[in-house]
C-alpha cells in the first residue's frame, strides 16, 4: 500500500446546464517520500484531483486514503501550496509561516522557533519581519512553502506553485524545492502544465488524459538528481510525455 492510495476515483460537477465528469476511475499509489508530478491537457482534472487529496473536494465514487486512513476533509498532515501565494498581507513573514501553528494553540515562542527553521530552509532569514508587499513573487512563494512545511505535513500538495513566475525564477525555485525535498523527504504530489518542470523534478510522472481525466501512463524517471535539461535522455522523455498529452487532448 502506498502512502497515498487512490482507488476508482470519479468526480463530476453537476450544474443546471448539465453534468461534467472531471475524473473517471483514477487509480494511483504514491509511495512514501516520493516526488510525483501530475501532467495532462488543460481541464483534465489535475487540480481537482489534488483538491480531493487535500480534502477540499469530495469524490462522487472511489476512495482516497493516506497511510490506510480514508480522507474525509482537510488535515494539517496534508499541506497545500497554491499557485496564488495566498499570504496574509497584514502579517509579516514569520507570522505568515507560523499561522497554522498558531491555529493549533502553540505558544508564540515555540511557533516562531519552528517558523524560523523553515524560513532559513527557504533562504529568507533576512526577511523574517518583512511583509508580503515587500517581497518578490519568488520570495512570496517561498514563504508559502515554508508555511506549509511548518505544520510538518506527511504529504505536500503543490498546485502549479511556480506557474506565475518568470523562467529564471522558476528554474531557481525548482532547484530550491529539490533541496528542501532532500532535507525533509516529504511525499510531494506536484501539479504542473510544464513538461520540462515535471521531467526535471519528478521520480514518476503521471500523465492524465483529456476530460474526463483518466491515467494514460505513469513514467518512471530513472536518473538521480541533479538532472541535465540539455541531455539527449532528458529531451527524449520530454518528447514522449508531450506526445502522450497531445494524444490525450479532448476531442472538440
- CA–CA separation, 15 and 163 (whole Å): 29
**So where are the chain's domains?**
4-77+153-247, 87-152
| Contact between residue 119 and residue 146 where contact means Cβ atoms under 8 Å apart | yes
**Per-residue pLDDT of the chain in tens (252 residues, 90 and over written 9):** 459 999 999 999 888 888 889 999 999 999 999 999 999 998 899 999 999 999 999 999 999 999 999 999 999 899 999 887 789 999 999 999 999 999 999 999 999 999 999 999 999 999 999 999 999 989 999 999 999 999 999 999 999 999 888 899 999 999 999 999 999 999 999 999 999 999 999 999 999 999 899 999 999 998 988 899 999 999 999 999 999 998 866 543
Amino acid 86: pLDDT = 82
Amino acid 2: pLDDT = 57
Virtual CA dihedral for 92, 148, 59, 192, nearest 10 degrees? Answer: 100
The domain covering 4-77+153-247 belongs, at the CATH homologous superfamily level, to P-loop containing nucleotide triphosphate hydrolases (3.40.50.300)
For residue 68, give the 3-state DSSP assignment: coil
- CA–CA separation, 59 and 51 (whole Å): 10
Amino acid 249: pLDDT = 60
Distances (CA, A) of 186 to 11, 36, 224: 27, 11, 17
- CA–CA separation, 118 and 120 (whole Å): 5
Q: Which three cell numbers stand for residue 184?
A: 525533509
- CA–CA separation, 173 and 165 (whole Å): 9
- CA–CA separation, 77 and 149 (whole Å): 10
Virtual CA dihedral for 217, 223, 224, 229, nearest 10 degrees? Answer: -90
**Three-class secondary structure assignment of 6-54:** EEEEEEEEEECCEEEEEEEEEEEEECCCCEEEEECCCCCCHHHHHHHHH
Hey, CA dihedral for 123, 126, 128, 132, is it positive or negative?
negative
| Contact between residue 89 and residue 31 where contact means Cβ atoms under 8 Å apart | no
Amino acid 251: pLDDT = 44
| Contact between residue 115 and residue 149 where contact means Cβ atoms under 8 Å apart | no
Q: What is the pTM of this model?
A: 0.92
- CA–CA separation, 120 and 201 (whole Å): 22
- CA–CA separation, 97 and 99 (whole Å): 6
Amino acid at each position: 500500500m502506498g502512502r497515498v492510495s487512490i482507488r476508482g476515483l470519479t468526480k463530476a460537477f453537476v450544474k443546471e446546464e448539465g453534468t461534467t465528469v472531471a475524473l473517471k476511475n483514477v487509480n494511483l499509489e504514491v509511495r512514501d517520500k516520493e516526488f510525483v508530478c501530475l501532467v495532462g491537457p488543460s481541464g483534465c482534472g489535475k487540480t481537482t484531483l489534488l483538491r480531493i487529496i487535500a480534502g477540499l473536494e469530495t469524490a462522487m465514487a472511489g476512495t482516497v486514503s493516506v497511510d490506510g486512513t480514508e480522507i474525509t476533509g482537510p488535515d494539517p498532515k496534508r499541506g497545500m501550496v497554491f499557485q496564488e501565494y495566498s499570504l496574509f498581507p497584514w502579517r509579516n513573514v514569520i507570522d505568515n509561516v507560523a499561522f497554522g501553528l498558531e491555529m493549533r494553540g502553540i505558544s508564540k515562542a515555540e511557533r516562531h522557533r519552528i517558523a524560523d527553521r523553515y524560513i532559513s530552509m527557504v533562504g529568507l532569514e533576512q526577511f523574517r519581519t518583512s511583509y508580503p508587499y515587500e517581497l518578490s513573487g519568488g520570495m512570496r512563494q517561498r514563504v508559502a512553502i515554508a508555511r506549509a512545511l511548518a505544520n510538518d505535513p506527511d504529504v505536500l500538495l503543490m498546485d502549479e506553485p511556480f506557474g506565475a513566475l518568470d523562467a529564471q525564477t522558476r528554474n531557481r525555485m525548482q532547484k530550491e524545492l529539490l533541496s528542501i525535498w532532500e532535507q525533509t523527504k516529504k511525499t510531494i504530489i506536484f501539479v504542473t502544465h510544464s513538461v520540462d518542470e515535471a521531467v526535471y523534478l519528478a521520480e514518476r510522472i503521471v500523465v492524465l488524459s483529456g476530460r474526463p481525466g483518466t491515467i494514460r501512463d505513469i513514467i518512471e524517471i530513472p536518473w538521480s538528481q541533479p538532472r541535465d535539461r540539455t541531455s539527449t535522455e532528458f529531451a527524449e522523455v520530454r518528447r514522449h510525455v508531450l506526445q502522450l498529452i497531445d494524444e490525450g487532448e479532448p476531442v472538440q
